[in-house]
């Protein structure tokens, strides 16, 4: 029910902190949100505590993406902290409890968490502090994190997750209509269609191909037909945004483009990227004759063989 200036969001990006020279990319992402009004979804894997990120977001909506730890007390603590800090929703990622096969990361030895990077939400957490003991060295911190990361969630965990907070609960990584229906049956407030930017399962389907079926399942649900459907993966232009909206997405989350802007130009760079996407989206709808968001339907699209 929140009003926003455009149908865009900033998708959660783990290790975002590392893309800026000062290593505070998560805070700067929230500052971009404050400058544009585009909601920011902060990742569990931040370089700054979630409270500091929340303080930088101004009046823009802010969601917290949860990589659910194996330790339930730690999971509850992260969610509680997000709620107290003023986050507006919890986004539970379902498709990355274990990383996919990523040859580029393997070839470069790129796994910053093993160097203690992007673990600020853990090292600032009282439950995690109890797990590591007082004054842990880097190795203890990293191995404690390794031991709790990667919880293979099942439907049986959903009631417990729902019990942790009164905030809206969104499931991220839903790509099948049956999963969308069951999630809504179990009390989820929103569905997030995503294939994790295509980084998890090589050869998997494009998220936009799954979007219409998921939207149809949500809109036909007897009790939660108005649930929002967030979409990301592969969005690079305003034309991509318009296509996703025409296929029924409530809002479209941007990942790599704003990260590139943040890396190259800091807050002004990422702000420029988002405003450019907003402008292109507006102009495409205008020149194609769709003055309002509600006028845009799948009839606007023609499949090219």
3-state secondary structure 284-304: HHHHCCCCCHHHCCHHHCCCC
The single-letter DSSP state of residue 21 is T
Class of domain 8-300: alpha beta
- Please return the burial class of 303, using the count of CB atoms within 10 Å of its CB with bins 0-12, 13-18 and 19+: exposed
pLDDT at 204: 82
Q: Is residue 176 flagged as an active site residue?
A: no
pLDDT at 99: 79
Weakly modelled stretches of the chain, pLDDT under 50 = none
Q: Which of 28, 196, 221, 272 is catalytic?
A: 196
- Please return the burial class of 275, using the count of CB atoms within 10 Å of its CB with bins 0-12, 13-18 and 19+: middle
Domain layout of the chain by residue ranges: 8-300
- For residue 26, give Cα distances in angstroms to 8, 213, 249: 18, 33, 26
- Please return the burial class of 19, using the count of CB atoms within 10 Å of its CB with bins 0-12, 13-18 and 19+: buried
Cβ proximity of 284 and 239 under 8 Å: yes
| Relative orientation angle of helices 256-287 and 238-246, to the nearest 10 degrees | 70
The single-letter DSSP state of residue 111 is -
Copy the structure tokens of residue 188: 């989820």
The single-letter DSSP state of residue 264 is H
The single-letter DSSP state of residue 58 is T
Distance, in Å, from the CA atom of 98 to the CA atom of 290, rounded to the nearest integer, reads: 42
- For residue 292, give Cα distances in angstroms to 8, 282, 283, 285: 15, 10, 12, 8
pTM of the shown model: 0.96
Copy the structure tokens of residue 214: 């998921």
Copy the structure tokens of residue 3: 């009003």
pLDDT at 119: 98
């Amino acid at each position: 029910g929140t009003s926003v200036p455009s149908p865009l969001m900033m998708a959660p990006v783990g290790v975002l902190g590392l893309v800026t020279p000062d290593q505070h990319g998560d805070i700067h992402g929230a500052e971009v949100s404050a400058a544009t009004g585009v909601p920011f979804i902060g990742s569990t894997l931040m370089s700054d505590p979630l409270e500091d990120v929340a303080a930088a977001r101004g009046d823009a909506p802010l969601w917290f993406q949860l990589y659910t730890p194996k330790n339930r007390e730690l999971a509850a603590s992260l969610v509680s902290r997000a709620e107290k800090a003023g986050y507006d929703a919890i986004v539970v990622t379902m498709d990355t409890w274990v990383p996919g096969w990523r040859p580029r990361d393997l070839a470069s030895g790129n796994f910053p968490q093993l160097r203690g990077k992007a673990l600020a939400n853990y090292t600032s957490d009282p439950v995690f502090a109890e797990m590591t003991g007082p004054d842990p060295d880097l190795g203890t911190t990293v191995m404690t994190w390794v031991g709790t990361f990667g919880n293979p969630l099942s439907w049986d965990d959903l009631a417990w997750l729902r019990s942790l907070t009164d905030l809206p609960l969104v499931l991220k990584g839903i790509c099948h209509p049956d999963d969308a229906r069951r999630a809504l049956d179990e009390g989820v407030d929103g569905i997030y269609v995503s294939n994790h930017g295509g980084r998890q399962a090589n050869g998997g389907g494009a998220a936009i191909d799954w979007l219409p079926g998921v939207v149809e399942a949500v809109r036909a649900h007897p009790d939660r037909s108005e649930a929002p459907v967030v979409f990301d993966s592969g969005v690079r232009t305003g034309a991509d945004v318009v296509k996703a909206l025409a296929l029924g997405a409530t809002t479209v989350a941007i990942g790599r483009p704003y990260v590139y802007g943040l890396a190259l130009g800091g807050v002004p760079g990422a702000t420029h990227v988002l405003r450019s996407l907003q402008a292109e989206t507006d102009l495409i709808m205008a020149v194609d004759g769709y003055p309002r968001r509600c006028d845009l339907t799948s009839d606007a699209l023609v499949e090219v063989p």
